[in-house]
Every structure is written in structure tokens, then in C-alpha cells.
Chains A and B, each alone.
Chain A
């Protein structure tokens, strides 16, 4: 338990004078499934976005796979990462967005093959094969030639998951993957994520408001508040015996709401 695949070391993130994340320490072990919960604006998305290199940091160091993400080592000192370094690091991560962010002008198949072909240099045939395997996994083989706009929200999000997986990331980041869905479509997306969670090697970090689901698939749940981990533990500990007053209030509010 001493070789974390993700490590935040006193990470700071601010927008102007507004500090979103302050001295955050946060570790995720290889293969671990971690869920982040917490009130709106507490910095949950920011943590994922920093990992996906969509947001830079203002202090501290983020490590992915033991290497600094936003820095490079140069003659023994840390310098801000070059675009080249970021590109290399990025390939280890995949992200699923709340709003799916599928490419609307590309077919489902093309959504899944574009990056593997361009970035990984897969042949057309190989990329298609990979895409079809993934569509099988998310239960959408028959939708390969449709466009995202022709699919339901639940189907779109499953495509979103497959698209991220097509790059074979070691770490999957989910930012409220079911929040934009009609209630009756949430289940099909959670089922896909549940299948992924069963994979031993895949590290998962998920922000969600689906408490029951978090409890079921997570190894660990982190309660975020004001850009810090206020309390964390196994789902059992956190949901059944929260120690902190703030955690209890939050859980009471979401579970009754």
C-alpha cells in the first residue's frame, strides 16, 4: 500500500483570489475504486479536471504513476511540465463527462476509433475491432453507425465510457456520469460502470451523488468539503458511522433529498 498510482501532495488550485483547493493530500492505490462525494462547489470536479490535465495547479505536486503530472524533473529540480510531457501523461487517464461530450458530427463508431487511430496509430481495422469489443461491453453493438443525437442520454453516456476505454487508460475518471440523465436511464449506465469496477487492474475515481451505488462499488469514499477531504473511509465506515458532524449533515441531506 505504498505505491499509489495517484498522489496529490499539498496541491493548491485557485481561480484568481478564490481558492478552490487548498493543500490537498489525496492518494489512490493501483486498482482502487474511489468515490468522491460532497456538496456543490467543494472542488470535486476540479480534482478530476486537474488529473485529466484540463486545469493546471497553483501549488504542490500531483503524481500519476509515480511521475509528477504538472511538472517535469530537470537536473534534479521540478519545472512546469511541457505540452509533450502532459501528452505522455494524459494517455494513462480517461475521463467520462457529466454532459457526455461526444462528438456530435461523428458516428458512434467514429467517436470510438478517432483517437485510437490518430493518437495510438492503430490501423483502421484494428481500431474498429477494438471499438466493436467495447460496444459489446456497453451493450450498443447495434448502434455503431448512428450519430450521438439519435441516441438516448443513457446510450450516449455508455458511448462516452466506451470512447474513454478505447484509449486503454489505467485510470478512469467519472464526473457525475449519471447526473444529466433521466432517472429511468441511470441504471443502464451504472450497470456498465459496475462491470468495469469488477476489473481488478483498472483504477477508478468517481464523483457521484448516487450514494447507494457508491456504497456498492467503492473501496473507499472521500467526503469533500471546501477543497479538502473532510472525512474518508470504507463505504461502511463513512455511510454507517460518519465521525464528523459535517459529514453526517451532508449524508442526511442527500439521503433524504
Chain B
């Protein structure tokens, strides 16, 4: 029994599959929650990193670059262990789910900051010069001139990271989060039938990534309608 649902092992494969579907879907909700929350954290934190990394002061830009590089070069699971096992020693005690999504968000923020940065740098130099010639303050130039032109360019790349975060959520199972894959494994452990639940997880993931990719493409097509050249 899991999430209050019991599995039916007595009436064949199909009945078994149908009986565990609600369990896997409950797991899917956890997976999606973790993915979207992690993605949100990564979007915000990544933008913060991108801004600090691009700061004119080297005292700010340099340490940021080191931090980003460090995050990028260490495995997600190592960061997850660190947050889960080390932080409590310092009195910071988060639930496993929150720790997990935080780790996802931090890991991906490093990737996303690079994407943002590339998008920001791809905005024509003349835009900054025009803004300067009009005496627009640097912060206003960034938020109202540069970003609106950079964001549409990076939407596809950000979307790909959303898909990729979804596929990384199972890592959270090592800190006891019961997301979809973990739920399937638990079912397998108890029924000795791993084939059906794991195949179902594979199928659900396939549908999920196809839908997410289609959504990303849709957003990409709909968004840059105001004459912003994407090249």
C-alpha cells in the first residue's frame, strides 16, 4: 500500500497496471512540483548570478564566476547530500522535498545563468549605446531595454532545462522523497514485479517530455512577435 492505494496482483498484468496507476500519478505530482519549484528557483537565482557575474566590479564578478563554476562542476547528488546532511548540523532543517528542490534549483541556476548571460550579450551593442545617449540609468536600461530583448532569445534553452530538471527529479529519492520513480521502485520491492511499474514510469516520462517540449516550442513561437530578431 502506498498513498492509501493498494495494488491488485491477482488478476493479471493489466489489472496490476491499472491498480498502481493512481500511485504513480501521485508520484508524478510530486515530480512535477519538484521540477517546477526547482525550475522557478533556478530561473530567479540564475538571473541573480548572471547579473552579478556581469557586474563591472571584478570584486563581484570574479567570486560569482567561481561559485557558478563550482556548482556546475560538482554532481547534483553531492550538493543534495550536502544540503541534506550538513545543513542540519548548523540548525538549518528543511523537509526532504524542500532540500531536494533547492538542490535542483541551485544546480540548474548555474546553467541558466550562462544562458541568460549569452542572451544578454547577444543584444546588439547599439541598444546600450542608444540608452546611454538618452541618459537612461543603467538599471533601467537593463530591465527595460536589454532584458526584454534577451529573454525571448533564451526561452528555448530555458525550456530545455525544464525538461531536463524533470528527468533529474528521481535523484531526490536518495533523500527519501517519494517521487514517481521512487514510487515505482517501492511497488517493485513489494510485489517483485519491477517491469510493469518501471515501464509505466518510462511511458509517463515520455509523454511528459513530449508535452513539455511542445509547450516550450509553442511559447517560443508565440512570444517574439514584436520584431525582435532572434539572431
Contact = CB atoms under 8 A, between A and B. Distances in A.
Contact of A95 (B127, B133, B145, B149): B133
B132 A115 contact: no
Contact of B229 (A91, A104, A119): A104
Nearest to A49: B129
A101 B135 contact: no
Contacts of A90: 132-133, 135
Given A99-B126, A105-B149, A150-B227, A119 B132 contact: no
B130 A102 contact: yes
A101 B134 contact: no
A179 B132 CA distance: 22
A103 B127 contact: yes
- B131, B134, B136 pick with most chain A CB within 10 angstroms: B134
Given A101-B127, A103-B127, A104-B226, A54 B136 contact: no
A13 interface: no
A97 B226 contact: no
A104 B228 contact: yes
A147 B226 contact: yes
Nearest to B225: A147
B88 interface: no
Interface in B201-231: 226-229
Interface string A137-178: 000000000011110000000000001100100000000000
Contact of A104 (B131, B134, B144, B149): B149
B79 to A, nearest CB: 36
User: Which of under 10, 10 to 19, 20 to 34, or 35 or more describes the interface residues of A?
Assistant: 20 to 34
Nearest to B133: A95
Contacts of B144: 114
A52 interface: yes
A97 B227 contact: no
Interface string A85-122: 00100110111010101111100000000110011000
A101 B129 contact: yes
Interface residues of B, number: 21
A103 B130 contact: yes
B167 interface: no
B13 interface: no
Given A104-B229, A105-B226, A147-B226, A54 B135 contact: no
A54 B127 CA distance: 12
B133 A119 contact: no
A53 interface: yes
Contacts of B227: 104-105, 147-150
Nearest to B134: A115
Contact of B137 (A91, A94, A118): A118
A255 B126 CA distance: 30
A39 B205 CA distance: 63
A210 to B, nearest CB: 21
Given A97-B129, A99-B126, A115 B226 contact: no
Interface in B115-164: 124, 126-127, 129-137, 140, 144-145, 148-149
A149 B130 contact: no
Interface of B: 124, 126-127, 129-137, 140, 144-145, 148-149, 226-229
Interface of A: 52-54, 87, 90-91, 93-95, 97, 99, 101-105, 114-115, 118-119, 147-150, 163-164, 167
Sorted from nearest, which 3 A-B pairs have the closest CB atoms? A149-B227, A115-B134, A101-B130
Given A99-B126, A164-B134, 13 more contacts: A90-B135, A94-B133, A97-B126, A101-B130, A103-B127, A103-B145, A114-B134, A114-B144, A118-B136, A118-B140, A119-B134, A147-B227, A149-B227
